[in-house]
Chain A
Amino acid sequence: MNPAISLSDMSRPDREPLIHLENAGLMPLPPPLEGPAKDHAFAALSGQARERYECGLDDTCALSFPRPKNEEEGKELVGRFLSGLDKLFSRENNWTFLQPLLLTMEHCARCQTCSDACHVFEASGGNELYRPTFRSEIVRRLYFKYVRRGGLLSAWQHGEIDLNWPLVARLAELAYRCNLCRRCAQTCPIGADNGLVAHELRKLFSQEMGIAPKELHDNGSMLQLKVGSSTGMNPEAVKDNIAFIDEDTSEKTGIEVRTPWDVEGADVLLIHNAGEILAWPENPGAFALLLNAAGVSWTMSSELAAYDSINYGLWYDDAQFARVALKHAEAARKLKVKRIVLGECGHAHKALAVVADRILGGDSNVPRVSSLTLLRDIVASGRIEFDPTRNDFPVTLHDPCNVVRLMGVVEPQREILRALCPQFREMEPHGVDNYCCGGGSGFAIMSGHNFPDWRFHVSGRKKLEQVLRAFQNSLDPSIPKYLCAPCSNCKGQFRDMLAYYGLWENHRILYGGLVELMVNAMTAVKPGFIEWEWR
């Protein structure tokens, strides 16, 4: 049992983590994972990691930020943090989110309504450290003390906080214990947004101090802007891979598939998360087959970054976010396409279709839509013949937060599943009230130290509970089950988490995208597009 922690513990000068996670203290799971004994033991952080990096928050480490060599260096880092904090509240530096940030800073009533909405807090067994207001309250106190320069009266009204390097280091880590799903903001009676606070903190650390997870920055947005994709694929490599996928899909389905590249004036510029091309090639293959079969005028682009829809800047850095969004829009402008269609990638949906909208001016403001609506229209049009009996197995749908709650695309994917999957069943709750897969905001690709253990045990736990409940009456391994996750990051999280808990091996729960189910039901396609093999 963890001792109760308080806000002041964040400033503790010792290097010990504030909490320890044990299975017995976490939210219980339904069968077949009922009881802490059926869970895996939480892998410990290595002694070397504890020695080298700032890991004084909990039992894991997302940032691997080296410890300051001496007290002076720590003080200098605190100074840089304060400088960043000031910039977070200045018009010139943070016009992008200043208004919602100010409203959240100045009006939270600390009623804790948001706590029950947070899957991380609930799954952790109500651990105080993961309460959505814990992080925000510290930032709020720092804001009133150092940005508003409040004195004694302010401390009386808004609370006191001791600023030192241990607090800043812990705060940096704590910014990466939130999936930015904004379920908390949805329930706030006032409209305060604790998810935004985590987002803005990440920005402060990245934009001012250059602190961000390697997977998001060095191997993520930086690589994408340099090579064209965070996968490392340059335009030649991506074309080769797609050619291979076309060939493979043609052979598998019996229908000739060819992906068009750089077609000027096409109706649709399709941008996939390039991770699909390497990890789940059947997804881009299915897209190509469907769009061709439906007679859609479409193309992919081989421009730098325009064949990879990811935009990790959305999670931690406005400058990186804007750079990638502009590259996507620029590719569409050059090709003179009518619209950009985003493949099955949740954060790419929100990044380009929603958040980037206001920075895309003039002829860069090409319409940007979800592939889910296009696919729904294809099904509804009757242009392709489907046989739903080919999908006669239990199917449930995971709603990516960025697509539903944060973009409002809720029904199209359901209309498809209702039409093509006779055993479709919803998770509860779903739609705009969904729970994050636990891999949101970059966690799915963050695998340093024992961080995956944290995202399986804590951030993914609520979703795991939902998946198990959705299939509770069909857990028998003789029944193949399909968890439909139309989002690359979510699929990454499911791949890792289902494998970790042996749910494919022991209960035949497979995960995959939406287009795979569509092609699987196409009468013109050879039966068995979904291969029921783990990947």
Chain B
Amino acid sequence: MSASLLYGLLYAGGIVFLAGCIVRAVRYSRQPLHLRWEIYPVPHGRTGELKVMVPEILFLKGLWEFNRPMWYVSFPFHFGLYLLAAATALVACTAAAPPALIVVLHQAYSVCGALGGLLALGGALGLLVRRLTVQELRAYSTLGDYLNLLFFSVTLVLLLTGYWLRPAGAPGLLDILRGAATFDTSLRLPPLLAAGIAAGAILLAYIPMTHMSHFIAKYFTYHRVRWDEAANVPGGSIEKRMAEYLMYRPSWAAPHVGATGRTWAEIATASPAKGAAK
């Protein structure tokens, strides 16, 4: 695979991933403000929220508490991905670091990358095995669910073996990053590692198109639903938004709703008997 094709895939993967995430986040954030639907306990203040969020994001505390067998495979998978993301960031730091720090950073990203890759691979395979063998998971799994996990597993195997089995003198992660940054087409990558990077780029682009983008959804399900107890204060922004929504004209067909071209405000203030559709 030529270096330029690989760089193209890498950039495209990153751009599609970011764009996909942004589109999804914008779509959810533009939904109308719903009626209050919080679930208690609701943490208060930034510190209170962080006390829940940090263990949840880093260690999947909820899963540990409520679904331990799943946690044993889901936690390594997710934590492995965090480590892989950290390794990528460390490689980028290495590229810009003073020479004195390069050795330390090199060791840090090597350890992070290897550990992250192994954990994520173990987790992905564990998740796949559970989906295939546990009846309550298998009954609800679609072909897409299996292929998603297979996609992760294959990509991680390619990346790990490609990196470890690369011939002496072949470019390492730092070289690849520098090559991509400068679009250095002279770089010659071993085929296995190139395949791993290409698969990783495609996987990255694919994630926002699926429910695997739940890291975006989770912000909304927590901050905009479970923890959203913002009260409607007279003259406040919520009241203004509600005034807009109450002018919507629904088309529900049941006679008691009486949605015969009327607004929500008119429907809510009408007697259902008088509001029956003709």
Contacts and interface: CB of A to CB of B under 8 A. Distances in A.
Genuine A/B complex: yes
B256 A319 contact: yes
Interface string A74-95: 0000001001100100011101
Contact of A358 (B36, B248, B255, B259): B36
A111 B67 contact: yes
Interface string A205-249: 011111000000100011001100000000000000000000000
Contacts of A358: 33, 35-36, 232, 238, 242
Interface in B207-266: 210-211, 213-214, 217-218, 220-222, 224-226, 229, 231-232, 234, 238-239, 242-243, 245-246, 248-259, 264
Interface string B77-115: 000000000000000000000000000000000000000
Interface stretch (A183-191, A257-265, A456-464): A183-191
A83 B246 CA distance: 22
A178 B35 CA distance: 21
Contacts of A335: none
A322 B35 CA distance: 11
A405 B39 CA distance: 6
A407 B229 CA distance: 9
B78 to A, nearest CB: 10
Contacts of B220: 99, 103, 191
A532 to B, nearest CB: 34
A521 interface: no
Interface residues of B, number: 73
A405 B238 CA distance: 24
Contacts of A361: 232, 234, 239, 242-243
Contact of A355 (B37, B143, B267, B269): B37
A326 B269 CA distance: 7
A106 B217 contact: yes
Nearest to B142: A159
A371 interface: no
Nearest to A106: B211
A365 to B, nearest CB: 6
Interface stretch (B58-66, B118-126, B164-172): B58-66
Nearest to B41: A432
B41 to A, nearest CB: 6
A128 interface: yes
A410 B250 contact: no
B221 A111 contact: no
B232 A365 contact: yes
Contacts of A49: none
Specify which of A83, A99, A133 lies most central, judged by the most chain B CB atoms within 10 Å of its CB: A99
Contacts of B242: 358-359, 361
A104 B257 CA distance: 26
B145 interface: yes
B15 interface: no
Interface residues of A, number: 83
Nearest to A91: B32
Given A95-B34, A156-B143, A319-B252, A115 B136 contact: yes
B268 A326 contact: yes
Contact of A322 (B229, B256, B264): B264
**Prevailing SS type, chain A contact patch:** helix
Nearest to B242: A358
A157 B38 CA distance: 30
A157 B267 contact: no
B242 to A, nearest CB: 5
A157 B220 CA distance: 23
B42 interface: yes
A189 B254 contact: no
A158 interface: yes
Contacts of A87: 250-252
A186 B39 contact: yes
A317 B31 CA distance: 20
Interface centre among A84, A111, A115, A320 (most CB of B within 10 A): A111
A158 B144 contact: yes
A354 B31 contact: no
A406 B254 contact: no
Interface string A381-413: 000000000000000000000001111101000
A99 B140 contact: no
Contacts of B35: 96-97, 355-359
A100 B39 CA distance: 12
Choose among A102, A188, A189, A360 the residue with the greatest number of B CB atoms under 10 Å from its CB: A189
Given A157-B142, A209-B254, A355 B272 contact: no
List the 10 closest A-B pairs by CB distance, nearest first: A191-B221, A157-B144, A408-B40, A99-B31, A95-B32, A322-B268, A113-B67, A210-B254, A107-B217, A207-B252
Given A96-B34, A112-B136, A357-B35, 8 more contacts: A83-B253, A92-B250, A92-B251, A98-B34, A103-B221, A109-B214, A191-B218, A357-B232
18 contacts: A87-B250, A93-B250, A97-B37, A99-B34, A113-B70, A157-B142, A185-B39, A189-B66, A209-B254, A222-B273, A319-B256, A323-B267, A326-B269, A357-B36, A358-B242, A360-B232, A407-B40, A432-B40
